[in-house]
């Protein structure tokens, strides 16, 4: 989540002086490399430190450098200059390359995350339980959590069916999903996020129960119709997806007519100071 990630960046470095830019299209932050290095190394000339480190990393073929972009950021003199920036993943890669006592707690935290991922290979139930615990930490009720976990399973089932019918690419999955959303809600997923005041947050995590049920209905209907009609390729699957979305739209309209109000809510469930971030704070103390 956008604000969660910004808060996480500031928490990790115990500073509000890390310059960052939010990229709306890519839905992620780009962070000033020099600012990160200045805090971790306490160097008086962070720019020179970065130039030396960059040269060494280039020689080693480190991808964190080749993925380094330049954006105009505001400097202390109030003017804007091209500055090396990386996304959050690139930031962590650079941190791992810095021999600094200030970086050690973050490296230990990253090592712990790596260990957790290895454990998940042997016990796939771990990430599922982690997701449930995280939803609980953000005060989701148990009934909503059950619906959300089921919707994740149903979504995977739908993409598996699409794959069997000639749709393989994530971009194509997103295209079909957008069409389903448009048919039942009148909005693409991006427009739906804007409606709820979201950025890169997960849309379904910010739906209430009825919105989640209608989303699930639209995708379950699409899955069953795809199995029945046996479409081939993106064009034919698009027509079936539209029908699946229409079924959920009809249900929505009937419910709204009886309730005499829209069931598409602007509310979201964002809680930026949550238990997960508190745990991160504790780990890097």
In DSSP notation, 219-256 reads HHHHHHHHHHH---HHHHHHHHHHHHHHHHHHHHHHHH
Sheet holding 80-86, edge to edge: 20-23, 28-32, 80-86, 69-74
- The four Cα atoms 121, 123, 129, 131 give a dihedral, to 10 degrees, of 10
pTM over 0.75: no
For residues 49 and 69, what is the distance between their CA atoms, to the nearest angstrom?
Answer: 18
pLDDT at 150: 87
Three-class secondary structure of residue 78 per DSSP: coil
Q: Copy the structure tokens of residue 230.
A: 């046996």
Contact 138, 274 (CB under 8 A): yes
State both tokens at 177.
């999903």
Sign, CA torsion 203/246/171/70: negative
DSSP 113: H
Element holding 55 (H helix, E strand): helix 46-60
* Tens digit of each residue's pLDDT, the chain (285 residues): 445 555 555 556 655 677 877 776 666 778 888 888 887 887 888 889 888 888 888 888 776 666 678 888 888 888 888 888 888 778 878 888 888 777 776 766 666 666 666 666 667 677 778 788 878 887 888 988 888 888 888 899 999 999 999 998 888 999 999 999 999 999 999 899 989 888 767 899 899 889 999 999 999 999 999 999 999 999 999 999 999 999 999 999 999 999 999 999 888 876 544 445 455 555 545
* Of 11, 21, 27, residue with least CA distance to 274: 11
pLDDT at position 273, please? 44
pLDDT at position 85: 87
**Please, what is the angle between helix 125-137 and helix 275-283, to 10°?**
110
Going from the C-alpha of 88 to that of each of 32, 123, 140, 230, the distances in angstroms are 10, 27, 27, 42
Which tokens hold the place of 221?
């209907």
Asked if 147 and 209 touch (Cβ cutoff 8 Å), the reply is: yes
Longest dimension (CA), the chain: 68
């Amino acid at each position: 989540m956008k604000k969660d990630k910004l808060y996480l960046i500031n928490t990790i470095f115990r500073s509000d002086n890390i310059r960052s830019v939010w990229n709306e299209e890519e839905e992620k932050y780009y962070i000033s490399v020099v600012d990160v290095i200045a805090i971790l190394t306490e160097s008086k000339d962070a720019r020179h430190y970065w130039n030396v480190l960059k040269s060494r990393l280039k020689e080693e073929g480190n991808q964190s450098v080749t993925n380094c972009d330049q954006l105009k950021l505001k400097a202390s003199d109030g003017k804007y200059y091209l500055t090396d920036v990386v996304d959050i993943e690139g930031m962590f890669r650079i941190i791992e390359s810095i021999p600094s006592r200030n970086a050690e707690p973050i490296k230990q935290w990253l090592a712990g995350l790596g260990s957790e991922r290895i454990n998940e290979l042997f016990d796939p139930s771990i990430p599922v339980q982690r997701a449930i615990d995280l939803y609980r930490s953000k005060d989701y009720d148990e009934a909503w959590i059950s619906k959300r976990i089921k919707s994740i399973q149903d979504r995977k089932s739908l993409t598996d069916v699409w794959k069997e019918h000639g749709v393989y690419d994530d971009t194509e999955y997103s295209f079909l999903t957008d069409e389903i959303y448009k048919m039942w809600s009148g909005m693409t997923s991006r427009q739906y996020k804007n409606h709820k005041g979201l950025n890169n947050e997960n849309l379904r995590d910010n739906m209430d129960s009825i919105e989640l049920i209608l989303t699930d209905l639209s995708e379950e209907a699409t899955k069953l119709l795809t199995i029945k009609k046996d479409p081939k390729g993106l064009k034919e699957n698009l027509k079936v997806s539209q029908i699946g979305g229409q079924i959920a739209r009809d249900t929505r309209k009937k419910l709204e007519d009886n309730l005499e109000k829209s069931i598409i809510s602007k509310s979201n469930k964002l809680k930026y100071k949550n238990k997960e971030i508190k745990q991160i704070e504790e780990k890097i103390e």
